Chains A and B, each alone.
Chain A
Amino acid sequence: MKKFGSYAIEDGFSIQFRKNKISLTKTGEDSYIYRRDHEGESASKTVFSSKKGKVKLAIYPVRPIQMPRRLAHNIMVKLESPIALPPKSSVTHHLTMPIEIGVFTISKKSNYMIDAFSLSFPKYGLYGTPDMGYICRLHNSTISSEEEAVQYEEAEIIMKFQNKSANWATIHKIVMDAYMVDLYLSGDTVYLEASNLVIEDGDVASLFLNNKPPLQGLEEVPVAAESVKKFRLGFLDRTGFGVEGKFIMEHGY
């Protein structure tokens, strides 16, 4: 059964994401309690009002920046084994990246995120040195020629690697700005937008997010946290990393 989507707000509504149970309880004429229980214990609870069916509940994948708290806006995808690229060559691989599940109340005028949770165990890593680096949400990814993302936990990355330099290049990890990331859906399978990583020269790589689905027939996730949308529209470029400087591969600390 497809779980990502929007739902009418009804007393007794419930949906399960592994150990997380989401439920709605009516407490007054237009008043509801949203509750999320994790392994039977209350993990989140919000009271909200919904006037005569004008508000819906939406559950969609969101960028992995909420959990356990907003500490990082970069994602570091660490490859299970390095990818070695010959000079002037390209290859496409399937990777994975973490996602979180966002719960929204949506109306015609605006959306509001009432909860976000992760089915995976979030870890952070430092990319670079403490004085020059970035705190990143860390994710260990498999490398495959087919889809391997764990449902509700990971998104599929179909990334084209291009080595335009005259030397061999080895890629161990990929860092991207989560605020730049668009997610697409096919049923409950989540995809990162079409992306390619280009090595121009030396050990500097540029990641390009191309603002289109990686496969035909995918729909863009229709609801995102408002603040993220505004931030993106206001400050970020659509290509590159959107932060000063480029990420240098293997400049680990």
Chain B
Amino acid sequence: MDWIDTALPGFGFTAGQLLFALIVIVVGIIIGRLARMTSNKVLSSVMSENASNLVQRIIYYFTIIVATLAALSYLGIDFTGALLAGGILGIVIGFATQSVVANLISGIFLQIDKPVSIGDPIGIIDEHLYGVILEINILSTSIRTFDGVNLRIPNEKLFTSKIHNFSKYVARRVVISVGIAYREEMKKAIDVILKTVKENSLVLAEPAPLVYVDELGDSSVNLSIRVWAPSSVWFEVRTQIVQQIKKVLDEAGIEIPFPQRVIWKGESST
């Protein structure tokens, strides 16, 4: 076993040290593989296959790099110069690819946080964009806008925006305001509207529809109509009941007034 302590010609370490360093690297590879397998089980349930594969690769290579650096450091190899050069190179690459990295990180967080899922109708409020999520990739998300255009949004933009997810919950509220003339009987108008919305099969009976006097406006008594509908038919319910309310108010002879202003003409003092 003398060869273990024999210094390798031209290197500053022995064969035994080299063997130990190789073992450290091999152990690093094994740990990397185990970490990848474990993370596969954990991540596959919380993120998409693409994102999961990417995170697994990062974990795997990071473990191997750490093991290799530890092994080389054990052999007495000085990394100061390499680290300095690597650091400068890293800064350059970091500046050049910061948007890519930001999108990548946002993509991973989108998969973990899941503010949206494929098929969700959403609205990105700041951008005034509305559509259905088609695909969430690691750098960008595809949306089919409601007017039928395919839109690709960088994940960073999506992740940092205010997002309205219209199908997250099973039910949504429809709110409609309608003004009636001051001479009309409020209770009659409320009863007529309430009966109409209750007769709509898609309007939920529970929570019960609500119609009430919301405010005394400049030109009209403003009624607020609040009904709940299954999220999947929210738009349909809204369009139906607006039309139905106009129709029944017309049939009941209840006036929806135009904006009006009383002009008072003062008498001349002379």
Q: Report A's interface with B, CB cutoff 8 A.
A: 68, 71-72, 76, 121-127, 130-131, 133-135, 138, 252-253
Contacts and interface: CB of A to CB of B under 8 A. Distances in A.
B170 A124 contact: no
A33 to B, nearest CB: 27
A246 B181 CA distance: 49
B240 to A, nearest CB: 12
A252 B228 CA distance: 14
Interface in B207-239: 207, 228, 230, 232-233
A135 B172 contact: no
Given A72-B230, A126-B228, A138 B169 contact: no
B170 A138 contact: no
Nearest to B229: A124
Contacts of A135: 170-171, 204, 230
Interface residues of B, number: 15
Nearest to A124: B204
Interface of B: 168-172, 201-202, 204-207, 228, 230, 232-233
A68 B201 contact: yes
Contacts of A130: 169-172, 228
Contacts of B171: 126, 130, 133, 135
B203 to A, nearest CB: 8
Contacts of A72: 230
Interface centre among A68, A126, A127 (most CB of B within 10 A): A126
Interface centre among A71, A72, A131 (most CB of B within 10 A): A71
A133 B170 CA distance: 7
B169 A252 contact: no
Contacts of A121: 201
A253 B202 contact: no
B201 A252 contact: no
The 3 closest A-B pairs by CB, nearest first: A125-B206, A130-B169, A130-B171
A138 B201 CA distance: 11
B233 to A, nearest CB: 7
Given A130-B169, A130-B170, A253 B230 contact: no
Contacts of B205: 123-125, 138
A71 B233 contact: yes
Nearest to A127: B206
17 contacts: A71-B230, A71-B233, A72-B230, A121-B201, A123-B201, A125-B205, A126-B204, A126-B206, A126-B207, A130-B169, A130-B171, A133-B171, A134-B170, A135-B204, A252-B206, A253-B206, A253-B207
A121 B198 CA distance: 11
Nearest to A253: B207
B84 to A, nearest CB: 53
A142 to B, nearest CB: 17
A122 B168 CA distance: 25
Contacts of B172: 130
A153 to B, nearest CB: 15
A124 B202 contact: yes
B244 to A, nearest CB: 15
B201 A131 contact: no
Contacts of B204: 123-126, 135
Contacts of B207: 126, 253
Contacts of B206: 76, 125-127, 138, 252-253
Contacts of A134: 170
Interface centre among A72, A121, A253 (most CB of B within 10 A): A253
A71 B228 contact: no
B179 to A, nearest CB: 28
Nearest to A133: B170
Nearest to A131: B169
A13 B62 CA distance: 76
Given A71-B232, A71-B233, A253-B206, A126 B170 contact: yes
Given A124-B202, A126-B206, 19 more contacts: A68-B201, A71-B230, A71-B232, A71-B233, A124-B230, A125-B206, A126-B171, A126-B207, A127-B206, A130-B228, A131-B168, A131-B169, A133-B171, A134-B170, A135-B204, A135-B230, A138-B205, A138-B206, A253-B206
Nearest to B208: A125
Contacts of A68: 201-202
Contacts of B228: 126, 130
A1 B233 CA distance: 39
Contacts of B201: 68, 121-124
A253 B169 CA distance: 14
Interface centre among B201, B232, B233 (most CB of A within 10 A): B201
A138 B207 CA distance: 12
Contacts of A253: 206-207
A138 B232 CA distance: 18
B91 to A, nearest CB: 45
